[in-house]
Amino acid sequence: MKAPLYILFALLIGSMIQSCTETQSPEQSYDVNFTVPSNFPQPSYDFSKNPVTKEGFMLGKKLFYDGILSKDGSISCGTCHIQSSAFSQHGHDLSHGIQDRLTMRNAPGIQNVAWKRFFQWDGGVFNLDMFPVNPITAHNEMDETIENVLNKLRKHPQYQGMFKSAFGTEEITSERFLKALSQFQVMFISAQSKYDKVKRNEGASFTAEEQAGYEVFKQHCATCHAEPFFSDESFRNTGLSVKNQNDKGRALITLNDKDVYSYIVPSLRNVMLTPPYMHDGRFETIDKVLDHYAQGIIDSPYLDPVFKQRNPAGISLSAEERTLLKSFLNTLSDTEFIRNRMLSEF
């Protein structure tokens, strides 16, 4: 007996939907191969101990966006590290943890971490695999323990299978958990800005204004914000007024007075997309940052010597230089990075 036309039609539509779903499945289109951009040096992360696989990446991605890492299930890594802001925190000066608890600092962006030697504003972590431990266990962030996280993952209906796909067995350990998160984060590569395409001779060129701004940058900013990552990963006191007496910056880690109120030099990549600025998010705009360096620096025994080369201390730019500099900084915005579906939650 021939099937009625409406049944054949329904079967056809169902087949088309299934075909489209299979074709458009984001997971199937992911290219999870870690590739070093030609204008970047070799990474410092040791991939021999944790090579990136598609399965490990997918596990790390699920973990990154899962509130299960926090005590009450309300905060994930992606809560404070937002892709549209180059995985930094926007909308708050200080980041908020569970139950709206205020943290001590603004969440920095996550980008090009495979090349980083230090993590957090004070550099208290120097291995990417250990980076998640602090926010997970901090009382004012996720307020959880690693063991509790692992126990929750073991009881979850999906995670045992994902750990088996990524690591060969269903065993869920802290090492595997942290390595999966690293496999996801090392793929946060921001290298498709206009600046990068100019440097790689990929058909892009600076406008006259951008080129002039580049010269201003090299003259006044490049000492600390070294190319190609636009940070030399040094720790410097930039003459900010002290808002939180308990936050001694790098000195909390080194216990050395010379590091009082010193913080790591942040990358300027995507800087125009990542307000607010400074370790405590005190400046809402890039102009306020430039105002600080021009006339707001507080001289002290802890002030970094780079700012003491002029009297008064600071970096003074003319109105034209500021405009040119901002034009160049815009070339560091990587819209492909912040729209990369492979890194998105959905």
pLDDT in tens, 219-234: 999 999 999 999 999 9
One-letter amino acid for residue 252 of the chain: L
For the chain, state the CA radius of gyration: 23
The Cα–Cα gap between 34 and 180 comes to: 14
CA separation, residue 256 to residues 139, 182, 197, 232, 260 (Å): 25, 30, 41, 20, 7
pLDDT digits (tens, 9 = 90+) for 254-275: 999 999 999 999 999 999 999 9
Residue 95 class from Cβ within 10 Å (0-12 exposed, 13-18 middle, 19+ buried)? Answer: buried
Distance CA 257, CA 245 (A): 14
Cβ–Cβ < 8 Å for 266, 230 = no
pLDDT digits (tens, 9 = 90+) for 191-230: 999 999 999 999 999 999 999 999 999 999 999 999 999 9
Of 55, 24, 336, 29, residue with least CA distance to 184: 55
CA 197 to CA 202: how far, in whole Å?
Answer: 5
- pTM (2 d.p.): 0.89
Give pLDDT, residue 142: 97
Name all domains of the chain by residue range, CATH numbers in brackets.
Answer: 54-190+338-343 (1.10.760.10), 194-336 (1.10.760.10)
- For residue 51, is the peptide bond before it cis, meaning its omega torsion is within 30 degrees of 0? no
Residue 293, amino acid: Y
CA geometry: angle at 316 spanning 233 and 206, to 5°?
70
Q: Please, which pLDDT band fits residue 310 given cuts at 50, 70 and 90? A: confident
Q: How many CB atoms lie within 10 A of CB 301?
A: 8
8 Å CB contact between 172 and 151: no
